[in-house]
Amino acid sequence: MLTHDTVVLIMLILICLILIGLHSFVRKQKNKSQLHKTFGIIFSLMLLWVGAMILQILFMDKLNIPMKYFFNIYYFSLCFLPVAFFYMALGFGTNKVTFKKSHILLFIIPILTTILVCTNDFHHLVYKEYSVEVSTEYGWYFYVHTFYTYGLFIASLIILLRYSIKNAGFFSRQAILIILGALVPLVVNILGSMQLVEITIYTTPITLSVTIICFTFAIFKFDLFKIAPIALQRIVDRISDSYIIVNENRNYY
């Protein structure tokens, strides 16, 4: 009979293989837009997170490696994934992600969290102790990071939901798929943080498999990366004359 750790390991490996396949698909696309690159970053961060947890299960006990080193690796992904997702949401409506000087503020908490996690043994502002269980004791800064992370994810979902409602039809289904996929790990982690359900640190990457399935369905079923901006949908519905749509790579639609 398979142990709990073995089942978790198998699931993480399957997720990792899916991530590698999706990342390879994105990199091989021709005429890539900034939205392509944003999704590539998202897949890379997810792959780093899942890969670190696989290594933790395989080698932490066998090689007597302190858990804090694995925390340092996948916390980098946890810190910057919400920012990448936020940029994906911003770029979904225009098919182009524009970086503004004010966006530098988005990186303050992720950078600070990364530094504090790596130096946690000196101050314990993030974790009082390292554990696979999420019921461990936390430092006060952990809640600052958690509030920021959930806030950025929720803001991203609101942006995507706004596009979905405002632009009914074919494109809105793509937004709904991404929203549903992102909501699953978000809701599970919120319930876990409130101790309403029992979860471990491996729960979140496992729930991300739902997100990956939704992304895959959006890519292959709805051809996510080859669409014109969503905002064109409403314009097209009101134009009676002939028209040609040209994207930033001068491709015609």
Q: Which residue has the higher pLDDT, 230 or 242?
A: 242
Query: Does residue 14 belong to any structural domain of this protein?
Result: yes
Calculate the average pLDDT of the chain.
Answer: 77
Query: Does residue 128 belong to any structural domain of this protein?
Result: yes
List the CATH number of the domain containing 147: 1.20.1070.10
Is residue 227 predicted with pLDDT exceeding 50? Answer: no
Instruction: Please write the tens of the pLDDT for every residue from 148-161.
Output: 988 998 888 788 77
Is residue 224 predicted with pLDDT exceeding 70? Answer: no
Query: Does residue 166 belong to any structural domain of this protein?
Result: yes
Instruction: Please write the tens of the pLDDT for every residue from 52-106.
Output: 999 999 998 888 888 888 888 888 898 998 898 888 878 766 656 667 777 788 8
Number of independent structural domains in the chain: 1
Query: Does residue 148 belong to any structural domain of this protein?
Result: yes
Instruction: Please write the tens of the pLDDT for every residue from 159-194.
Output: 877 776 666 455 567 667 777 887 887 788 777 767
Query: Does residue 231 belong to any structural domain of this protein?
Result: yes
pLDDT > 90 in the chain, percent: 11
Q: Which domain holds residue 224?
A: 4-238
Query: Does residue 164 belong to any structural domain of this protein?
Result: yes
The CA-to-CA distance between both ends of the chain, in Å, stands at 55
Query: Does residue 246 belong to any structural domain of this protein?
Result: no
